[in-house]
A and B are shown apart, each in its own frame.
Chain A
Amino acid sequence: MNVAIQVKDLTKSFADLIAVNHISFEIKQGEIFGLLGPNGAGKTTTISMLATMQKPTAGSALIQGKDIQKDEDGVRRSIGIVFQDQSLDEELTAAENMDFHGRLYRIPPDIRKQRIDELLRLVELYERRNDLVKTFSGGMRRRLEIARGLLHHPLVLFLDEPTLGLDPQTRNHLWQYIASLSKEKNITIILTTHYMEEADRLCDRVAIIDHGTIIALDTPQNLKDGIGGDIISIKTPDLNTALQVLSEPWMERVELHNDEVRICLHSAEQHISDVITLLRQYHVQIHSVSVHKPTLEDVFLAYTGKTIREQESDRKEMMRRHFMMRRH
């Protein structure tokens, strides 16, 4: 397998914060690689550096063997990028947006025309090709941007939050589309997301990123297996007693989160009666018990002690305080 992207100690720091802190990873050709993390974790900054939009403070990266700092044009020619925010010209039609892109990447006219038609059919916008983009819905714009990103046949496609703000149906549709794309054209796809299901369903491997560092990197399955096969959550008012009681060798990990005790373990079905017996013995009240397979959310929680949503609201709180302090 060829290596498509090689990142070594990539770092980006701004005046008073380190957005990306010495991250390293490799992505194989044809792989779908996910950067999963809360908003502000450094995902978009990483993508911006790899796409030559921002200069790294330290470290290096090769894309298709081309250095992101020494060979900007080479990198730009081999990548396609779909930005988090829209980057279409709304006053132009779908076909004109595509044509503009094709010309910028110097695709010869006959090939350009043929590929534009082909791609617009692929994303089901061919019928609307002569309509102005400003009449398009959010999902249609996203599809158009993905089609545009593919027009110059990039070997690597960056998707920055590709399904942000889309309805579930469109999101599902896009996922199928992205998956088939990587399979059929053997394009390496690197996507950022803060949707757990998205990373889980779509990505071959996921890097969990928080505060600018990669805290875990593996296939979604291995990540989930790594924290134990199952999770038993118990709601109880006697949290402390429960924590003391629950320390059997077959429990991989017992942790407190919000008003719940969570037990990570293998084969929960066999052990659930033991858990309940134990708690009963010590007269611990039980409000509810649930068993579920770990999700990437649980993985994130296991590594950071917080869910992604909590991490995001913490960051907002920090920002708010920061601004309040500056005002005083």
Chain B
Amino acid sequence: MDIIYTIWLRSMTRYVRSKSRIVGSISMPLFFLLFLGFGLNSVVKIPGLGENYMQFLIPGMVAMSVLFTSVFSGIQIIWDKQFGFLKETLVAPVTRMEIMLGQTFGGATTAVIQGILIMVISLFLGLKVQGAGGFLIALGFMIIIGISFTAFGIAIASRMEDMTGFQLIMNFVIFPIFGLSGALFPISSLPAWLLPITMFDPLTYGVEGIRYGLTGVSQVHPHLCFSVIGGFACAMTVIGAFLFRKISL
């Protein structure tokens, strides 16, 4: 535990210091909220929420900021590899499992903090929290999404030599995961051929879970959401740990 905490502590120290990163990763979901939210608020009608697109979009944007921050945190291992710091941890008398878990929890924590920041900002944009219970449910889903995608990032970083492939992963893996997840639109209004693809996207269940917590309404049952995204988090952690074990310098 103490080793996991040590690695986690390092992530936190670095996070608190990287002001530009904090602001940078808030800006994207915030702009989406402002432009799409206000732009489409009166045009779009959402089943269950009526004409309040903003209410619908906020959980999606919270999920978005958790997703991007966590993938990015996981992939940062490549920097540790390139700048040599990874050697320092790998030659210490600790297991790779501990290093990987510390890194995962560190990334998940920063991602959840970023998500909460968006949530707080959303309070000024019309978010009405359904009470402490709802908030805790949303928080739980954010943590699970954070763990899943940090582990996902670590898995990718373990196989990558340098940052050149990063943009590719972002454009062809992460952005589709985000786009198909129902963060921007209700999945029930999708054409029939697109719906199954959306249901294959693990983030769909994360978004719906957060949405259930924050607005009280979701199109997928919260239990199903929890099972799928929870299972995905476990699978990703196992795969990430497996690939990280095989990292060589």
Chain A interface residues toward B at CB < 8 A: 51-53, 72-73, 76-77, 81, 83, 85-92, 96, 100-101, 103-106
B91 touches A100 (CB 8 A): no
Most buried by B among A52, A81, A100: A100
Q: Given A92-B10, A92-B13, A104-B6, do A52 and B91 touch, yes or no (CB 8 Å)?
A: yes
Cα A109 to Cα B11 with chains together (Å):
20
What range describes how many residues of B lie at the interface?
A: 20 to 34
A105 touches B92 (CB 8 A): yes
Q: Which of B80-88, B107-115, B178-186 contacts A (4 or more CB under 8 A)?
A: B80-88
Which residues of chain B from 2 to 61 have any CB-CB distance to chain A below 8 Å in the complex?
2-3, 5-6, 9-10, 13-14, 17-18
Determine the residue in chain A with the shortest Cβ distance to B92: A104
Which residues of chain B from 83 to 123 have any CB-CB distance to chain A below 8 Å in the complex?
83-94
B249 contacts partner chain A, Cβ-Cβ < 8 Å: yes
B83 touches A100 (CB 8 A): no
Cα A81 to Cα B10 with chains together (Å):
21
Determine the residue in chain B with the shortest Cβ distance to A84: B84
Q: Given A92-B14, A100-B6, do A86 and B84 touch, yes or no (CB 8 Å)?
A: yes
Determine the residue in chain B with the shortest Cβ distance to A103: B6
Q: Given A100-B10, A106-B2, do A89 and B85 touch, yes or no (CB 8 Å)?
A: yes
A88 touches B85 (CB 8 A): yes
Most buried by A among B85, B89, B90: B85
- The contact of B13 among A86, A96, A101, by CB within 8 Å, is A96
Contacts of B10 in A (CB 8 A): 89, 92, 96, 100
Cα A83 to Cα B83 with chains together (Å):
12
Cα A88 to Cα B249 with chains together (Å):
16
Cα A72 to Cα B93 with chains together (Å):
8
Cα A163 to Cα B91 with chains together (Å):
21
B87 touches A87 (CB 8 A): yes
Q: How far is the CB of B46 from chain A (nearest CB, A)?
A: 43
- The contact of A104 among B18, B86, B94, by CB within 8 Å, is B94
Cα A86 to Cα B86 with chains together (Å):
11
Contacts of A96 in B (CB 8 A): 10, 13
Contacts of B6 in A (CB 8 A): 100, 103-104
Which A-B residue pairs are the 8 nearest by beta carbons? A87-B84, A76-B93, A103-B6, A104-B92, A87-B88, A73-B93, A77-B93, A87-B87
Determine the residue in chain B with the shortest Cβ distance to A148: B88
Determine the residue in chain A with the shortest Cβ distance to B80: A89
Contacts of A88 in B (CB 8 A): 84-85, 88
Determine the residue in chain B with the shortest Cβ distance to A102: B6
Cα A90 to Cα B83 with chains together (Å):
9
B91 touches A51 (CB 8 A): yes
Q: Given A101-B88, A103-B6, A106-B2, do A91 and B17 touch, yes or no (CB 8 Å)?
A: yes
Q: List 16 A-B contacts (CB under 8 A).
A: A51-B91, A53-B87, A73-B93, A76-B91, A76-B92, A76-B93, A83-B84, A87-B84, A89-B14, A92-B10, A92-B13, A103-B9, A104-B88, A104-B89, A104-B94, A105-B93
Cα A72 to Cα B17 with chains together (Å):
35
Most buried by A among B6, B83, B91, B249: B91
Cα A2 to Cα B175 with chains together (Å):
61
Q: How far is the CB of A91 from chain B (nearest CB, A)?
A: 5
Q: Given A91-B14, A92-B14, A103-B2, do A81 and B91 touch, yes or no (CB 8 Å)?
A: yes
Q: How far is the CB of A92 from chain B (nearest CB, A)?
A: 6
Q: How far is the CB of B10 from chain A (nearest CB, A)?
A: 6
Determine the residue in chain A with the shortest Cβ distance to B14: A91
For the complex with contacts A104-B89, A104-B92, 17 further pairs of A-B residues with Cβ separation under 8 Å are A53-B87, A53-B91, A53-B249, A87-B85, A88-B84, A89-B85, A91-B18, A92-B13, A100-B9, A100-B10, A101-B88, A101-B92, A103-B9, A104-B6, A104-B88, A104-B93, A106-B3
Contacts of A52 in B (CB 8 A): 91
Contacts of A89 in B (CB 8 A): 10, 14, 83, 85, 88
Cα A72 to Cα B95 with chains together (Å):
11
